[in-house]
Structure 1
Amino acid sequence: MASLGLDLEPVLDKDGVRLTVDDAVATVTLANPAKRNAQGPALWRTLIEVGRLLPGSVRVVVLRAEGKSFSAGLDRQMLTPEGIPGEPSFIGLARSEDAELDATIAAYQEAFTWWRRNDLVSVAAVQGHAIGAGFQLALACDLRVVADDVQFAMRETSLGLVPDLTGTHPLVGLVGYARALEICATGRFVHAEEAVSTGLANAAVPGEQLDDTVRDLVDALLAAPRDAVVETKALLRGARDRTFDEQRAAERAAQARRLRDLAGLAD
């Protein structure tokens, strides 16, 4: 059975992020429960580092969090005039040149991007509050399993901002434009039952069963040959951007690669 790395020596442990690796499974844990796993630039830089540190053996990445909340979202100190010591405040960012502001936000977004790589399947195990940046981090993953106390909310619009950490694209893809707009514009909570029924979550379970359920899912994901999963993920991720005939052609090309590989004829 796959491990969630809870008892392994960390590969990395800093800025509220812990990475453990057990052969084909990496576990990324948000590990600052005292601050409800609030997020800021240091945490985002560490998440980017995590993506770069993953060994080639890793097939599945599990994202989980310690404490009652998955992530309460942005560290509100970033919204104050003084900001977080050593980091740009929002006011400071607003005063920067257009190119600098764009580059800064793009750098933050990198923490939410690598989870979608075709060579990995990422699974978020989400309990309690997943608000703003926390919601978007869960959306960065391919799959989401939630505890029955989960509360998703996109609060950026309520603060006069927009969700800018790559969450809008997957949200619309999962629940559709109208519901995505309503969720973001109202900032309301989405609970476990709705999350499953709308496609935000793959499953909802009692909190005490969350880790075991994710472990079972990881085992199922690892049961299929890696190259077949990689090709399938690439096909599915690109399907919305292709016409029907383009998708048919992509399927043929992928299957040709798989058949030649299985027959020992791959380049």
Structure 2
Amino acid sequence: MAAQDPVLDQDGVRLTVDDAIATVTLTNPAKRNAQSPALWRALTEAGRRLPGSVRVVVLRAEGKSFSAGLDRQAFTPEGFEGEPSFLDLARGSDTELDAAIAEYQEGFTWWRRGDILSIAAVQGHAIGAGFQLALACDLRVVADDVQFAMRETSLGLVPDLTGTHPLVGLVGYARALEICVTGRFVLAEEAVSSGLASLAVPGDQLDGAVRDLASAVLAAPRDAVIETKTLLQGALSRDFEAQRRAERAAQARRLRDLAGLGE
């Protein structure tokens, strides 16, 4: 399907596919791409609709801001039209509340799938849920005006959209804690130096830099990229010897495949 023909276009999310590259775009710049449960469900649906040919998924946003985070309408008594308000959810049972949050998290989970590599192109504000959505991706390229912030704690909440695990893995426990509890901005220079971002570029070069990175990923054989991603994803949960064994097993699979002896 050509890139100009959306596979999905609903609730502030558009998915297009051009051969091996899919692009998920946040499409509500008038509200700085503020997020809602409907948008989170649309993100989940975008992941379900990815064709098997896709190797790289680019996440980007229209307008000056990547995402200003959760739409403040969520904190009003009425919440979003057609949705249970957060107050209603809080009054429900533990099982119901857990299920609701788990459903929200699904839109932030599939970006880590082993068969794709995801790249977030982030400009302007990426706050709260916006920060966590960028963290859902494998890699981040940022514009030099980027402003990351985790504001949940200052609102009496916690980051719950799968952002805490990658944040600690990227910057370490102490800096992750400080970023979350202060709610301060992390700008482009710190994002790169701390490992949050791979590269910072002027805003008008952001899309080009992401295309270049995607092309570099596609230049490597797909199975080797998948094996490498899986190997690195598990590295922190294994001790040194276990990682050595995982490396040997992965390399054995690659050698047999290259020799035409794979299953």
* Shared fold (TM-score, shorter chain, > 0.5): yes
Deviation at 1:6, TM superposition (A): 10
Equivalence for 2:195: 199
Deviation at 1:90, TM superposition (A): 1.3
Deviation at 1:218, TM superposition (A): 0.5
1:168 aligns with 2:164: yes
Equivalence for 1:157: 153
Q: Secondary structure at the match of 1:165?
A: coil
Which of the residues 234, 238, 243 maps onto 1:238?
Answer: 234
> Once the two structures are superposed, what CA deviation does each residue of 1:10-64 show, in whole Å capped at 9, x if it has no partner?
1111100000000100000000001110001100001100100000000000000
1:212 aligns with 2:181: no
Moved more, 6-15 or 224-233: 6-15
Equivalence for 1:248: 244
Equivalence for 1:98: 94
Equivalence for 1:117: 113
> Once the two structures are superposed, what CA deviation does each residue of 1:204-251 show, in whole Å capped at 9, x if it has no partner?
000000000000000000000000000000000000001111100001
TM superposition score normalised by structure 1: 0.97
1:49 aligns with 2:12: no
**Would the alpha carbon gap of residues 258 and 53 (structure 1) be closer, same or farther in structure 2, given more than 3 Å must change?**
same
Equivalence for 2:17: 21
Which of the residues 63, 74, 78 maps onto 2:74?
Answer: 78
Runs of 4+ in 1 over 2 A off after TM superposition: none
**Can you give the 5+ residue segments of structure 2 that lack an aligned partner in the other structure?**
none
Q: Secondary structure at the match of 1:64?
A: strand
Counting matched residue pairs gives 263
1: CA distance, partners of 2:112 / 2:157: 25
**Can you give the 5+ residue segments of structure 1 that lack an aligned partner in the other structure?**
none
Equivalence for 1:31: 27
1: CA distance, partners of 2:68 / 2:239: 39
Deviation at 1:108, TM superposition (A): 0.4
1:183 aligns with 2:179: yes
Equivalence for 1:134: 130
Kindly provide the amino acid, as one letter, of the partner of residue 37 in structure 1: N
Q: Secondary structure at the match of 2:81?
A: coil
Kindly provide the amino acid, as one letter, of the partner of residue 22 in structure 2: A
> Once the two structures are superposed, what CA deviation does each residue of 1:143-180 show, in whole Å capped at 9, x if it has no partner?
00000000000000010000000000000000000100
Question: Retained in 1: the 8 A contact 2:115–2:226?
Answer: yes
TM superposition score normalised by structure 2: 0.99
1:108 aligns with 2:104: yes
